[in-house]
Structure 1
Amino acid sequence: MNAATQPERRSLKLRDVRRLLEGVIPPAMCSVGADGMPHVNYLSHAEYIDDEHVALTYQFLNRARANILATGRVALSVEDPFTGVSVLLQLRYERTDTEGPVFERLRAKLAGIAAQTGMEKVFHLRGADVYRVESLRKLDPVHPLPSMAPRCDLATGVRRLSEQLAEAADLRSLLTAFIDGLQRDLRITHAIVWLLDEQRQGLYTLASIGYEQAGSGAELPLAEAGLAGVALRENVPIRIGHMSQMYSYGMSWRAKAEQLGLQAAMADTIPLPGLANPRSQLAVPLRARGRTVGALLVESESDQFFSYDDEDALTAVGAQLAQGLAALRTAELVEEPVTAPAAADTQAGGSAPLRVRHYPRDHSVFVNDQYLIKGVAGAIIAKLVRDQIDSGREAFSTRELRLAGGDLRLPEVQDNLGVRLLLLERRLAERDFGLHIERCGRGQYRLIADGPLSLATEG
């Protein structure tokens, strides 16, 4: 960098112009061959890495590629579609990534742009070319256009949501504060909190907002988890500004089963929450104490709804959610007995019977021939129903469940038994079968049945 560009570099930072890299107006790249002949072509978009680096798509074996490898220098012009301002970047080539977080972020956005433009079979990312930014220069338009008002004040929203999360005393209030804050403070109307099931190598839904089907307990193999799966694997936010079937997380086999009339194949599956045709998606990993515990997925029916600022905001509050889950998980292991309310007489008043069927092979549970849940949560509810039938006792504790962990095939304590119980509580509330789980103290719960219980173990 020469002395003439240093003051300019200090006054304009790459972070200040990163939203211009999105490709709403395609960036123009100029490269020069070894013979001095310039070559200009347009890119789908560029990717902000940090305040010193950007990544550009390497898609084709063409003249520009030969120039880049020969000289290592390019100029990139990006434009703001809202204000008309242009910025010129001088870049020096450093390397090409063919895997890893930068490559995956660029590939996700390219897939969205390809789907938007009907170029899915043409746009194929060979690599992510990483460049160091040597200088930036703003070119003001003759007549600047007015700026678009932001969706909300993200900084203030993050502060408010963070304050609410810090006040949460248990898992239930933590989750409620988080999903309410997404809507109220960050103006996000569609979101799913996915948690990682390490044993089954999949994700399950802990909570969602904005969907017809809440889908608590819905499961998804990591290989089919779309954007959320990539964010979790690479441990970076992944964002798409246009719809892309490549990153759709709907179960393809489910659609095929519906076409073939195989309704029985879907009988023991909780419907996945999600938009049928999302135009924008953003997934951020949820990390706590050195572990990735899940992913947050947010969606919109509008193109380019989320920005780099949303990535920063959701990464911050997502980390606080993950840390809260880890801390309150430990707190749930400490039991604090309280006097539970007297049990209601479920046998009186002609209440309808609740017929529970349990399939130990995968712990699927049905109530009155309707599917409830399976896996760890299914094993737990089957045990609780069995114990209540045998002893008439509604109350139970996390300690009892942990002691029975071998028989239930419960995961390690780190998989948060408290979270599983919260998931089961939410799923029972959604289905409204007449079974409820109620927390009555730290580590203490009750299973409440609105009618006489019966349990059949099959298969």
Structure 2
Amino acid sequence: MNATAPDRRALKLRDVRRLLEGVIPPAMCSVAADGMPHVNYLSHAEYIDDDHVALTYQFLNRARANVLATGRVALCVEDPITGVSVLLQLRYLRTDTEGPVFERLRAKLAGIAAQTGMEKVFHLRGADVYRVESLRKLDPVHPLPALAPRCDLATGVRRLSEQLGEAPDLSSLLRAFTEGLQRDLRINHAIVWLLDEQRQGLFTLASIGYEQAGSGAELPLAEAGLAGVALRENVPIRIGHMSQMYSYGMSWRAKAEQLGLQAAMADTIPLPGLASPRSQLAVPLRARGRTVGALLVESEHDQFFSYDDEDALTAVGAQLAQGLAALRTAELADEPPAAPAPAAHTPADSAPLRLRHYPRDHSVFINDQYLIKGVAGAILAKLVRDQIASGRDSFSTRELRLAGGDLGLPEVQDNLGVRLLLLERRLAERDFGVRIERTGRGLYRLIASGPLEIMAGE
């Protein structure tokens, strides 16, 4: 074999997709019908697949007229790390003004605009989709060494996947996922959002890396920023320079403060999140053909996440969603019947725990401090009333499921196990002296540090 033979493996767009990010703006050359060339710079380009790329359509200019006249452009993208350039020959196909490709391109453009102070100038009119007809690498005279990656993503995904596959219950699954993000993928800030179909919003099931864990925090889909777009379009959405356009959940709080409605915010759980994120990536969580939530990861550094992170988090996110569905189904199949239980043992001299339950939205306050609302609040109110009436602290998911209509469990997606897990985590975060302990498959205990009292709010 000739040691000096050139590498004949064809260069694929996937091999160079990180060069499209716009750290160095891509240069586009178009040609008019009379053969006059025109060169201009774009904010960035968007990888679609190995045969297609999308370019920003922002301005009505000469380049746009050339594209519509001839349908051909050349694009030069550069690697800011190694100095390598790649020349792409493209054929224009169509312009998307909505949909996944448009939303991905718009999100990145918004981030770049915010970084450069051009948010009021940059406006995406459409995503021009091109077929890649050829590409070739233009090696620099003195190439620079590539930077070491943050971690070995392939190995990290394998380790995390193995841990998820071994999880015996919902709590273990969630713990394996959040710990694996940090340990194996070197991601320190993340939120797992689940979809509440009845309320058309998202709620936080878990988070890592924040001062406020925020379990149970809720957001309307319209206020959910990048996570909401990823869920709606069912594609990963990534920003390398954070834009206010995709800041989530703060607009309605600001309006409430301006109107003096602080009381309206007293029964909300503070949202987890970085105050000033520089990079964000949201991927939809899908199970059994349905999008059930979104994973949002973020960083305090620009361009922290890449296309490879999109691939990695889409894979482990799908396994998380499938695990949530499978373990919930397994718990349903093995649900034990309700069994007699010993009476609850509460220290007689302990301070009472006073719960107030508002039936209109199932908000629950403990000793006048807000805890949670919705299905999880309805579950807690039922458990407390049952314990006061029967004197026992044990319960089963079967009992709760029989009362599903009163608890507001949705018919289209039985999420009792997830809501119980959410309630368990929220009680642990607030540490009011009430906690839920799992004693077996489908079996739990409600443990209180003092006598329980409950009253209905108006």
Q: How does the TM-score come out when normalised to structure 1?
A: 0.96
**Using the alignment, how far apart are the partners of 2:396 and 2:343 within structure 1?**
16
Contact 1:337-1:442 within 8 A present in 2 as well: no
- The answer as to 2:196 corresponding to 1:201 is no
Other-structure match for 2:190: 191
Tell me the CA shift for residue 131 of structure 1. Answer: 0.3
Tell me the CA shift for residue 341 of structure 1. Answer: 9.2
Contact 1:193-1:296 within 8 A present in 2 as well: yes
Tell me the CA shift for residue 282 of structure 1. Answer: 0.1
Other-structure match for 1:119: 118
Change (3 A) 1:338 1:296: same
Letter in 2 for 1:47: E
Contact 2:336-2:398 within 8 A present in 1 as well: no
Contact 1:287-1:293 within 8 A present in 2 as well: yes
Contact 1:78-1:87 within 8 A present in 2 as well: yes
Contact 1:74-1:90 within 8 A present in 2 as well: yes
**Using the alignment, how far apart are the partners of 2:77 and 2:142 within structure 1?**
17
**Using the alignment, how far apart are the partners of 2:399 and 2:107 within structure 1?**
45
Other-structure match for 1:441: 440
Other-structure match for 1:3: none
- The answer as to 2:108 corresponding to 1:109 is yes
Other-structure match for 2:83: 84
Letter in 1 for 2:457: E
Other-structure match for 1:33: 32
What does residue range 13-412 of structure 1 map to in structure 2 within 5 Å? 13-259=12-258, 261-333=260-332, 334-336=334-336, 345-348=345-348, 350-412=349-411
What does residue range 6-17 of structure 1 map to in structure 2 within 5 Å? 10-17=9-16
The C-alpha deviation readout for 1:134-171, integer Å capped at 9, x for no partner, is 11111111111111110000000000000000001100
Identity of aligned residues (%): 89
**Using the alignment, how far apart are the partners of 1:413 and 1:164 within structure 2?**
29
SS of the residue corresponding to residue 438 of structure 1 reads strand
Other-structure match for 2:3: none
**Using the alignment, how far apart are the partners of 1:436 and 1:345 within structure 2?**
14
Tell me the CA shift for residue 260 of structure 1. Answer: 5.3
**Using the alignment, how far apart are the partners of 1:289 and 1:82 within structure 2?**
41
**Using the alignment, how far apart are the partners of 2:154 and 2:343 within structure 1?**
47
Change (3 A) 1:176 1:337: farther
Which sits farther off after the overlay, 170-179 or 394-403?
394-403
Change (3 A) 1:154 1:343: farther
Contact 1:336-1:441 within 8 A present in 2 as well: no
Contact 1:111-1:120 within 8 A present in 2 as well: yes
SS of the residue corresponding to residue 415 of structure 1 reads coil
Which sits farther off after the overlay, 90-99 or 255-264?
255-264
**Using the alignment, how far apart are the partners of 1:64 and 1:316 within structure 2?**
39
Letter in 2 for 1:306: F
Change (3 A) 1:176 1:343: farther
**Using the alignment, how far apart are the partners of 2:8 and 2:366 within structure 1?**
66
**Using the alignment, how far apart are the partners of 1:329 and 1:229 within structure 2?**
24
Tell me the CA shift for residue 132 of structure 1. Answer: 0.5
Tell me the CA shift for residue 323 of structure 1. Answer: 0.4
Tell me the CA shift for residue 250 of structure 1. Answer: 2.5
SS of the residue corresponding to residue 423 of structure 1 reads helix
**Using the alignment, how far apart are the partners of 2:412 and 2:197 within structure 1?**
12
Letter in 2 for 1:319: A
Contact 2:344-2:392 within 8 A present in 1 as well: no
**Using the alignment, how far apart are the partners of 1:311 and 1:372 within structure 2?**
34
Change (3 A) 1:398 1:341: closer
Tell me the CA shift for residue 338 of structure 1. Answer: 11
SS of the residue corresponding to residue 76 of structure 2 reads strand
SS of the residue corresponding to residue 331 of structure 1 reads helix
**Using the alignment, how far apart are the partners of 2:9 and 2:197 within structure 1?**
46
Which sits farther off after the overlay, 255-264 or 328-337?
255-264
The C-alpha deviation readout for 1:212-245, integer Å capped at 9, x for no partner, is 0000000000010000000000000000000101
Change (3 A) 1:451 1:13: same
Contact 1:23-1:44 within 8 A present in 2 as well: yes
Tell me the CA shift for residue 351 of structure 1. Answer: 1.1
**Using the alignment, how far apart are the partners of 1:184 and 1:340 within structure 2?**
43
**Using the alignment, how far apart are the partners of 1:287 and 1:404 within structure 2?**
28
The C-alpha deviation readout for 1:12-52, integer Å capped at 9, x for no partner, is 11000000000000000000000100000000000000000
The C-alpha deviation readout for 1:260-291, integer Å capped at 9, x for no partner, is 55321210000000001100000000000000
Contact 1:338-1:440 within 8 A present in 2 as well: no
Other-structure match for 2:431: 432
**Using the alignment, how far apart are the partners of 2:351 and 2:255 within structure 1?**
37
Tell me the CA shift for residue 258 of structure 1. Answer: 3.6
**Using the alignment, how far apart are the partners of 1:10 and 1:91 within structure 2?**
21
**Using the alignment, how far apart are the partners of 1:271 and 1:82 within structure 2?**
40
Tell me the CA shift for residue 406 of structure 1. Answer: 1.6
Tell me the CA shift for residue 335 of structure 1. Answer: 1.5
Contact 1:8-1:137 within 8 A present in 2 as well: no
Contact 2:43-2:56 within 8 A present in 1 as well: yes
Tell me the CA shift for residue 437 of structure 1. Answer: 0.6
Letter in 1 for 2:347: Q
SS of the residue corresponding to residue 59 of structure 2 reads coil
Tell me the CA shift for residue 11 of structure 1. Answer: 2.0
Could you say what the CA RMSD is over the residues aligned between the two structures, in angstroms? 1.6
Number of residue pairs aligned between Structure 1 and Structure 2: 452
Q: How does the TM-score come out when normalised to structure 2?
A: 0.96
Contact 2:77-2:86 within 8 A present in 1 as well: yes
The C-alpha deviation readout for 1:194-221, integer Å capped at 9, x for no partner, is 0000000000000000000000000000
Contact 2:341-2:393 within 8 A present in 1 as well: no
**Using the alignment, how far apart are the partners of 1:329 and 1:152 within structure 2?**
33
**Using the alignment, how far apart are the partners of 1:355 and 1:337 within structure 2?**
30
Which sits farther off after the overlay, 141-150 or 217-226?
141-150
SS of the residue corresponding to residue 44 of structure 1 reads coil
Contact 2:341-2:394 within 8 A present in 1 as well: no
Contact 1:168-1:177 within 8 A present in 2 as well: yes
SS of the residue corresponding to residue 185 of structure 1 reads helix
Contact 2:337-2:396 within 8 A present in 1 as well: no
